[in-house]
Structure formats: structure tokens, C-alpha cells
Amino acid sequence: MKYLGLIWAGLFRKKLRTTLTLLSLIAAFTLLGLLQAVNSLFSGAADFLGVNRLITQASTSFTQPLPMRLLPQIEAIPGVDSVNHSQFFGGQYQEGRNFFPQFVVNPQRLRRAYPEWVMPEDQWRAFISTQDGAIAGKNIAERNGWKVGDIIPLNSFIWTRTDGSRLWEWRLVGIFDGRDQEWSERANLMYLNFGQFDEGRVAAARGLAGVFVVRVKDPQQSEQIAATIDAKFENSSDETKTQSEQEFQLGFVRQLGDIGLIVNLITGAVFFSILFLTGVSMSQAVRERIPELAVLKCLGFTDHKVMWLVLAEAFALCALGALLGMLFASVVAGALPPDFPLRTDGFVWAVAGVSVLFLTLAVGLPPAMTARRLKIVDALAGRGAESAFERGLRAGLDALFRRRDAIEAEEAST
Amino acid sequence: MSRLTQVREIVLMNLRSIPDRLAASLVIVVGIAGVVGVMVALLSMSSGLEQTLGGTGRDDQVVITRGGTQGELASFLAIGSATLIKQDPGIARGADGLPAASGETIVITEVPRPGQRSGANVSLRGIEPSGFALREGFRITAGRRFRPGVLELIVGKGAVEQFAGLEIGKTLRFRGASWTIVGHFESGGAYDSELWSDRETVQGAFARAGVSSVLAQLRSMDAFDGVKTRLTTDPQLDVDVRRQRDFFSGQSGNLTTIIGSLAGIVATIMAFGATFGALNTMYSAVSARTQEIGTLRALGFGALPVIASVMAEALLLSLAGGVLGAAIAYLLFNGYAVSTLGGSFTQIAFQFAVTPGLVALGVSLALLIGFVGGLAPAIRAARLPVTAALRGG
């Protein structure tokens, strides 16, 4: 700790260079923070989902609705607690500027399937008893300024009414919230009562349920129950595919492509650039100070201590840049509209921490070793050795030029 | 010496000394190569997607869907409506005297990607025999065409690459029945990401009474307005009529916009980092040359040649970085095949396309960074007091 002042003084010996390097580091870590937040968002998209829910969809595609008659058959399977059905409605509200998903469900069954949603008792009752009833998540209700009793027109791009129109009116009878912070943030959807939906749509489509949300009694049995459900409908025209809710959600994300790969490639490119830049800056800083380091050694600092001083300086530089960059990334992520729920969570900070350690070693170790090996006499005379990195670079380049010279000489002689 | 010769001499002298400051100079090259490489690679993704979708359509063919739907997936036309549409006088007739139009049924199916259990949405398109003739670029690359009335499929070449288990002879299970893959085809654009079969077979197997869209050949380019007016005002129909090219261009959805803004944000932040790196390099280059600059000024060289020499160094290094970055992006990603979820909620297979325009954009950004990074150090170099500079600053 007593060397803190020394490290600080060494760091800001050349204010301009350190400041510029620091700014580069801040930019790099801002980007790293934001990119890894994207990564964390997509990879952890479904972590919060319970393991006791399964989704049964048509094996051909989840866009093919399954018929309602499968419901009692699934419910009869031992170990199944309850079954809800859910149909994506695909409604647009007001020119579709703010998109939010809506699902047509059986209200009573929804309540059993998703105890994570909380709502006053009378609103649950109203949802169950109102044929054209709808409930909205707290977040979208706030965003659109809805209150209970409002009529919400939704223009479905999938479902046509018997009269040929696709405009459906829903009566808002409740506003639900999540039972904890995590679910509260996700209250961005709307549930519609199956009653009006099934009655209103064209006859050919009636009786189609969509997908089934199966709640199992014991999560340990999930896999076995999923297999039982699929076996039950095998070789029928309604073959099913049952997977955990988590797997189902991840399937959506995977459809977009390998986001993790893209994000990590960019992070890699950023990291490589910053490694190079900081490395050069550090080795410059140490080379300029070789006589000073020799003085330190004269004063009785051991080789080891001098090495640690240089390493500590590299660490201080990287850590400071990373900290400021990550703070900036957090501010930016927090300021994004709620459609982009980026968070610099523990995972992101861990990635940044590991990056700092790696960066410190990569950029600090070569000059630190140079400082350690320094002979006092040479150093005082200003005969500092080049860093290993620079030596390597120069050797490579010399070889290249020599070969070119040789080729030119050969050409000249022929 | 004229001013121009002065500038030339000093610039050349300075550029020859770059190898002495190699490590620091490489900071500019590597930093800018990173920025340009990432930006060009990201943008090549959206340009590839646009090329695929834009390359799908023809202007003398129209796609007719249910009114108010963006894609074919949510569209539904009763068979009667499809027949009515085909009889429009603006639609060309084939050699057999029948309308050159194909009513097509789209269903979404799930096919796994290699190494994954969960499926990706892939369109299964049921076409009429006339559908082959309507797609000029269509050819079977392996195997044969499907036979009507049998559960047989042919697979587009993009889908073959992107998804697992689509080799000839393999079977796919849909709704309790097995479909045999009998051929691979190439048709250009978005169609290459699809599975094709006979329309009536698809309708039967998936219990679909109608079609999703009608693809029709216009009698001539100018026939479009007539067809559109007649069909959209016909009280028996509720349809949208679009030229095929426009229809598919609309299918990229917001994807190109999203990729574009992502590339913009990433490139901006990286460009800031690279600019600070360039400033660092150029300041240290100037400080290494302090005595040299002092000597030149004492000999009577003006401020302009000094500025020019610093700027030339910065611009040359950033140019090298830009070219390097674009080259890396080209070598690693040009032609890299991927697939993503398109506007119609099914997979579109496409290839990254590093176009000359993108390379030019990348190199311009590189030069901009070099310019900004060189300017302040150049001015400082020109302003160095001669006496102080001679003593080494």
C-alpha cells in the first residue's frame, strides 16, 4: 500500500500518453460491457423460467395449432399437475409502433400454470368471467396509459373474425405484476380470454388450442413426462414435441442465429486491438524510465520489487480503464428504452474482471521482466534493453527485408 | 527549394523513418484494422441478406396475398379466389393456354440445425406445375423433381447447407407421415432456403383448404397497374398485389436496420478508442522527432511541410490499417453462409457479402480516424519553438 503514491506517480509521469491510453481502454471496456450484456441477455434469456413447466407443440412447427381435444388426454397423464393452452394472437396496437405479445388462454388455467403473476383476487375473477376480457402486464399498461375498464382494439395479422375483419376489441379487466423483481421486469405481455376468441373466429379454426403449457408435480419427472406425452400422439396427425419451457424459449433465440458467436468475435477483435495499444504504451513508459528504475535499485529496491512495481502500474492502468468503461456501459445500458433490457450483471463484470487480469499480465509482464533483469550500471548509462516484443517484431521485419533485398539482388544479377 | 519540393522531401524523409518507430506505428494500423474489420464484417451481413432477398424477385411477376398481410405465412386465399385471380386479363398465358400463375401453399416446418435439438422454422412450399416455369433460374442440382400425389420433397441449396438431415433419400416426419427427400434445387434468393413439394399434396397432408399466395407472370411490365387496380377493387376479393421484387425486399423486415445500427454503435465506440490510440502514436512520433523538426525549422523549412509530414504519416498508417481490416473481413467472412429468421418468421439462408462499397466505406472511416488522430500532433509539431526543439524539447 505504501507504494501507491509511487505507482500513481509512475503512471502519470507522461500525463498525455496515460490519459490517451486510458481513454482507449475506457472505449474498449464500454464496448466489452455492452456486448457481453447482449450475450448475457440472450444466453440467460430463459434462466428465470421454472423447471416444472413443459411446452407441448405440434412436432411440425409451433405455428401449427394443436386441437383442444388433446388437453384432457395430456391432463390424464400421471404426474401432470395442470394444463393450460396458449395461442399466439399476433395483434397490433395503434399502428404497431410498440409491439408486445398477446396470448389467448383459459384464464382459470393460466392462474394455475403461472403462479408467478400476481393480481388482485377480484381482477382474476373478472378475467375468468368476462368473455372478451384481457389482462395486461404492469409495464405495458403503464407505457400505454391503460386502466382497468378500457377497451383495447388489437388488429391481428393472423386471426380473422367470421365477418372477415381482423380487428378485435378486448376489455381490460386486470393488470398483473410479477411476484418478484425478475418477473416484474418481464410483465410485458397480455393475456386474452379464449371465450371471445374461439367464438369470434372463422368456423374452420374453432377448437384449435395452440400449444399446451403442462405443469408437472415433480420437476425430476419432467423428461419422462415429456416423453410420455409425445409417445401418446405418435403417428397421429397431431404429433407433438414436448420440451421444457426453457428449451422452448431458447429455441426462439437460436432461430436468430449464433448471436453469441458474433458478439464474442467482436469482443475478440476489440480485445486484441486494446492489447496491442496498451502493450506498446506500457513498454514505452518503462523504457523511458530505465534510468529511474536503476536509481530505485540503487536505493535498495530488490529486483522483485521493481518488477512488481511495473506490474502494479500496468494493473492500475487496466483496472482504472476497465472500471470507468464498465461504469459508462452500465449507465448507457440503464438509459436504453425498456425494449432493450440490457444489464451489466455479474456475468458481465466477471468477464471484464478476467479481461483485466489477462490484459495486465499480457501487457505488464514483458516490461516488468525487463525491469527486473536490468543491470544497474547499464541502466544508469541509459543502455536499456528493448522489450522482448519489440525485439521479436524487429527480428521478423529484418528477416522480411533481408529476403526482399536478397531477391532484388538476385534479380539484378540475372 | 519550392514549397512543394520542401513538402515532398520532408514527407519522404519522415515516411522512411517509420520503421524506427515500428511498434508505436503499428498501434495505428492494428487499432484501425480492428475497427474497419468489425464494421465491414457486420455490414457485410446485412448486404448479403439484401442481396439474397433483392435477388429473389422479378419486376414482371406479381405476388398476390390476402389484404393487409406482410408475408405469405399469415396470408390465406380460398381456392375460388385463387382461380379468380388467375383469370385476370393482365396475367400471361402459357403455351398450353392456361394462366402462367401458380397458387402456392406455405406451411412452416421445423428442421434441426446441425448439432442442435431444437428446430429452426423452415418454409415448406407447395407449388403448381406452372410454378417451375415461373422461376427462370430453377434447376435441379441433384436427384429429381417430386412427383405429385406422393409425399416427396425437394430442398433448396441454402437449406441443405444450413440444416441437418436434408440429404437425398432422408425422410422428414410431418403430422404423422414420412416425406422423402428426392432432390436438391437452386432457384436463387430466398427460395433456396425452402422445401418444395406439390401443392395439392401439401394441402392434403396439412389439411389446408386454400393457398397462401398466387405468383403470376404479367403480360408485360406495364400490365401491373391494371392487374393491381382490377384485383384490389374486385368486391369478391380482399388482396394485396405486389411486384415479386418488392415483395421479397420487404421480407428482410427490420433486420437490415437492426444490423446497420448495431454496426454503427460498435464502430463508433471502437473508432473513439482507435482515435485515442492514433493520437498517442502521433504525439510520440512528434516527440521522437523534436530535434529533427527543430533543425528543419532552423534551416528555413516552413510550418506547412512539417504539418504535411505528420499528416502523411498518420494517413498512410491509417490507410494501411483500413486496407488490412477490410482484407481480413473479406478473407474471413465473404461468402460465409448463415441463416436467420426473416420477416415471414422462417429461416432465410444467405451469405455475407463484402462489397466494394463496404470496403470504400471502411477505408474512408480509417482515413477519418487517421486525420483526426494526426491533426493535433501535427499542429503541435508546427508550433514547436525552434530553440527549445533544437535542445530536444
What pLDDT, on the 0 to 100 scale, is given for residue A44? 65
The answer as to whether B357 is a domain residue is: yes
- B344 or B167, greater pLDDT: B167
Give A 300-359 residues with CB within 8 A of chain B. Answer: none
CB contact under 8 A, B276 and A257: no
The answer as to whether A319 is a domain residue is: yes
The answer as to whether B24 is a domain residue is: yes
The answer as to whether B19 is a domain residue is: yes
pLDDT in tens, A358-382: 999 999 998 898 888 888 887 777 6
Same domain? For B229 and B278 the reply is: no
The answer as to whether B358 is a domain residue is: yes
The answer as to whether B229 is a domain residue is: yes
Type of residue found at A19:
T
Residue A292: domain span: 4-45+258-383
CB contact under 8 A, B266 and A284: no
Q: Nearest Cβ partner of B38 from A63, A266, A274?
A: A266
Q: Nearest Cβ partner of B279 from A20, A60, A90?
A: A20
How far away is chain B from the Cα of A368, in angstroms, using its nearest Cα?
18
Using pLDDT thresholds of 50, 70 and 90, give the confidence band for residue A97: low
Beta strands A190-193 and A102-105 are parallel
Q: Which of B55-59, B84-88, B93-97 has the highest mean pLDDT?
A: B84-88
CB contact under 8 A, B176 and A23: no
Same domain? For B115 and B213 the reply is: yes
Same domain? For A346 and A292 the reply is: yes
Same domain? For A232 and A344 the reply is: no
Same domain? For A233 and A277 the reply is: no
For the record, the C-alpha cell of A265 comes out as 468475435
Please give the Cα distance from B365 to B40 (Å, whole number).
Answer: 11
The answer as to whether A409 is a domain residue is: no
Give B 38-77 residues with CB within 8 A of chain A. Answer: 38, 41-42, 68-70, 73-74, 76
The answer as to whether A52 is a domain residue is: no
Same domain? For B148 and B103 the reply is: yes
Residue A256 has pLDDT above 90, yes or no: no
Same domain? For B15 and B77 the reply is: no
What pLDDT, on the 0 to 100 scale, is given for residue B322? 96
The answer as to whether A340 is a domain residue is: yes
Q: Does B132 touch chain A (CB under 8 A)?
A: no
Please give the Cα distance from B105 to B348 (Å, whole number).
Answer: 18
Across the A:B interface, residue pairs with CB atoms under 8 Å apart total: 165
Question: Using an 8 Å Cβ cutoff, are A115 and A179 in contact?
Answer: yes
- What's the mean per-residue pLDDT of chain B? 90
How far away is chain A from the Cα of B272, in angstroms, using its nearest Cα?
7
pLDDT in tens, A198-214: 999 988 888 999 999 99
Same domain? For B100 and B36 the reply is: no
Same domain? For A96 and A210 the reply is: yes
Type of residue found at A153:
P
Give A 213-272 residues with CB within 8 A of chain B. Answer: 234-239, 241, 243, 247-248, 250-251, 254-258, 262, 265-266, 269-270, 272
The answer as to whether B275 is a domain residue is: yes
pLDDT in tens, B16-62: 888 878 878 888 999 999 999 999 999 998 899 888 887 778 889 99
Q: What share of chain B is helix, strand, coil (3-state, %, to 5)?
A: 55, 20, 25
For the record, the C-alpha cell of B40 comes out as 465491414
Residue B315: domain span: 3-54+254-390
Same domain? For A224 and A280 the reply is: no
How far away is chain B from the Cα of A28, in angstroms, using its nearest Cα?
6
Give the domain-ending residue among B185, B208, B237.
Answer: B237
Cα three-residue angle B228-B230-B234, rounded to 5 degrees: 120
The answer as to whether A398 is a domain residue is: no
Q: Does B16 touch chain A (CB under 8 A)?
A: no
- The count of domains in chain B is 2
Residue A98 has pLDDT above 80, yes or no: no
Same domain? For B72 and B221 the reply is: yes
Same domain? For B219 and B162 the reply is: yes
The answer as to whether B248 is a domain residue is: no
**First and final C-alpha spacing in chain A:** 68
The answer as to whether A126 is a domain residue is: yes
Within 8 A by CB and 6+ apart from B96, the residues are none
- What's the mean per-residue pLDDT of chain A? 87
Same domain? For A146 and A203 the reply is: yes
pLDDT in tens, A151-187: 999 988 888 898 888 899 999 999 999 998 888 888 8
pLDDT in tens, A217-245: 998 888 899 999 999 998 888 999 999 88
Residue A39 has pLDDT above 90, yes or no: no
Q: Is the dihedral of CA B113, B115, B117, B118 positive or negative?
A: negative
The answer as to whether B290 is a domain residue is: yes
Same domain? For B48 and B98 the reply is: no
Name residue A57's beta-bridge partners: A241
What pLDDT, on the 0 to 100 scale, is given for residue A1? 60
Same domain? For B123 and B207 the reply is: yes
Q: Strands, E, within B149-245: which ranges?
A: 152-156, 171-174, 177-186, 195-198, 213-217, 239-243
Q: Nearest Cβ partner of B176 from A237, A243, A280?
A: A237
Range B256-280 average pLDDT: 89
Q: Which of B275, B364, B157, B107 is nearest to A26 (CA)?
A: B275
Same domain? For A292 and A158 the reply is: no
Range B177-201 average pLDDT: 93
Same domain? For A227 and A371 the reply is: no
Same domain? For B214 and B264 the reply is: no
Residue A387 has pLDDT above 90, yes or no: no
Same domain? For A152 and A223 the reply is: yes
Q: Does B207 touch chain A (CB under 8 A)?
A: yes
Q: Nearest Cβ partner of B273 from A27, A254, A280?
A: A27
Residue A69 has pLDDT above 90, yes or no: yes
The answer as to whether A262 is a domain residue is: yes
- The count of domains in chain A is 2
Same domain? For A69 and A145 the reply is: yes
CB contact under 8 A, A157 and B345: no
What pLDDT, on the 0 to 100 scale, is given for residue A383? 63
Within 8 A by CB and 6+ apart from B98, the residues are B130
For the record, the C-alpha cell of B108 comes out as 412452416
Chain B residues whose CB is inside 8 A of the A261 CB are none
Q: Does A148 touch chain B (CB under 8 A)?
A: no
What pLDDT, on the 0 to 100 scale, is given for residue B104? 95
CA A303 to chain centre: 44
Same domain? For A189 and A126 the reply is: yes
Same domain? For A91 and A221 the reply is: yes
ipTM associated with this complex: 0.86
Question: Using an 8 Å Cβ cutoff, are B102 and B131 in contact?
Answer: yes
The answer as to whether A143 is a domain residue is: yes
Same domain? For B149 and B35 the reply is: no
Give the domain-ending residue among A204, A238, A272.
Answer: A238
